[in-house]
Amino acid sequence: MRKLSKKNSDKRILVGITIALLLAATAWTVVWRNLAALEQQRVLEHQNSAKKLAEIATTFVMGKEYNNLLALMQYQTQTTAIRFMAYYLDRERILQVGREIKSGLSLPVPELDGRAEQAIRQSGEFLCVDSLLSFQKEMAGRQHVLRIAYSLQGFHERKRWVLAAVGGVIALLCAIALLLVLLQRAHAQLKQEEKNKAMMVRAIAHDALHYVTVIQMIHDNWLSAAKRGKEVRDLAGNITRIRESNDSLIKLLEDLKFNEYLRQGRIINQPGRIQWIPMLETMIADFSPMLSQKSVKVELIHQGEPYWFYADRELLKRVVANLVHNAFKFTRPDSTVKIWFQLEGSRLKTFVSDQGPGIPPEEWEHIFEPSVRLENDAYVRPEDKRGTGLGLSNARAFIRLSGGELGVFSSQAGEGTIFYFTLPVVGPMAEAGK
């Protein structure tokens, strides 16, 4: 049976996911910076090409080749980069070609140049830092001006596609990495379950063999005495040992059967009305022979409240027996196990405390896992160290099946542990709690 230890698998998984996210963020940043650098390069290229266009346009105007200038401007404005071109001679617009982009439609630029420039500035489609470039040059005593509106819209669309593709690839890789981590974790859990099952089978076989051996030894002693015609010594003590071994063997097999039924979802819950205090008083009286072995007392603290549950009586008895038996097993000799109650709304919280070595907080949940045993067993007798380690796991499963919860309320090293479980009450006390 495995003992409790700190688990680092979740921590390793968290570290792996963090590293994967950091690598993804780094890759995204690298791509983003490269695209930003490429964008700046495009801006410089546009500026350089605009200067060359201005020189060519000026040459056409000087030669009065206006048809060639118009053809050049019409050709350039058909590209994805240039949206608008206008040529001015001595502050008079002589040619204007371009388009305004709105909602994905290509519309003619207004006739007036001022309105056209204003529309270009306000359209929000020209994402270049300096979208409206102006080049001035004086030749033969006349002022030549070429204005060009550039847009990096096509580049930005491609950039968005690239970033989306990179993000998709990163997301896919992260999903694959997460899937691999989950598969690895599931594989480790399956291996651990198989290991626990094998250990549990070995432990059950060992304990069952012990109980059967005790019965067999007593039987052989009786048979040997009978053959020699001698009187059997300590008959009552031997019968008690046979009964204890038989009861322990039955409990061992019942825990195993109950856990297997739980795993398969085959537990048959037969609820009925249960008067809580009288049932506990009867069970405590039944525990007296066991408790006397360590001089342990059970103190039931109540004011005679008429608490009623609607639950399966036998399964609830199993829960109480497990909690009291654990308290008896781990508490020090000549101590007291206390049971008391607290009504919270329509639910009753039952507490069971011992005076044992305590349970570390990080192990409070692990003790409810199947086949788990505590390492701190200073007050546990050798004969009480046997068992399947399924008791608390089965008890919590039944309480949750009945609509309640079972857990550790508090625990202090050297002082003891307080377990609790809650169940909905029925009858007048439920209305009083509300």
Answer positive or negative: Cα dihedral of 220, 226, 230, 233: positive
pLDDT the model gives residue 379:
47
Beta bridge partners of 341: 350
Instruction: Give tens-digit pLDDT for 17-36.
Output: 777 778 878 887 888 888 77
- What does pLDDT average to over the chain? 75
Main-chain dihedrals φ then ψ at residue 305, nearest 5 degrees? -65, 140
Which range is least confidently modeled, 114-118, 130-134, 277-281? 114-118
Q: At residue 406, does pLDDT exceed 90?
A: yes
DSSP classification of residue 334: T
Q: Which of 369, 262, 363, 271 lies closest to 314, judged by CA? A: 271
- Sheet strands side by side (includes 132-139): 105-108, 92-102, 82-89, 142-150, 132-139
Q: What share of the chain is helix, strand, coil (3-state, %, to 5)?
A: 55, 20, 25
- Residue range 33-51: average pLDDT? 78
Report the alpha-carbon distance of residue 10 to residue 32 in Å, rounded: 33
Rounded Cα gap, residues 20 and 148, in angstroms = 46
Comparing CA positions, the residue from 343, 279, 352 lying closest to residue 316 is: 279
pLDDT of res. 337: 92
More confident residue, 381 or 286: 286
The pLDDT assigned to 341 comes to 92
Distance separating alpha carbons of residues 252 and 211, to the nearest angstrom = 10
pLDDT at 107: 37
Res. 282: pLDDT tops 80: yes
Res 207 pLDDT > 60: yes
Q: Which CATH number fits domain 269-433: 3.40.190.10, 3.30.565.10, 3.20.190.10, 3.30.160.270?
A: 3.30.565.10
Percent of the chain exceeding pLDDT 90 equals 8
pLDDT at site 185: 80
Give the pLDDT band of residue 203 (cuts 50, 70, 90). low
| pLDDT (tens digit per residue) in 67-92 | 888 888 888 877 767 777 888 888 78
Write out pLDDT tens, residues 95-114.
Answer: 777 755 433 333 343 433 44
- The pLDDT tens digits for 358-380 are 888 888 888 888 766 665 555 45
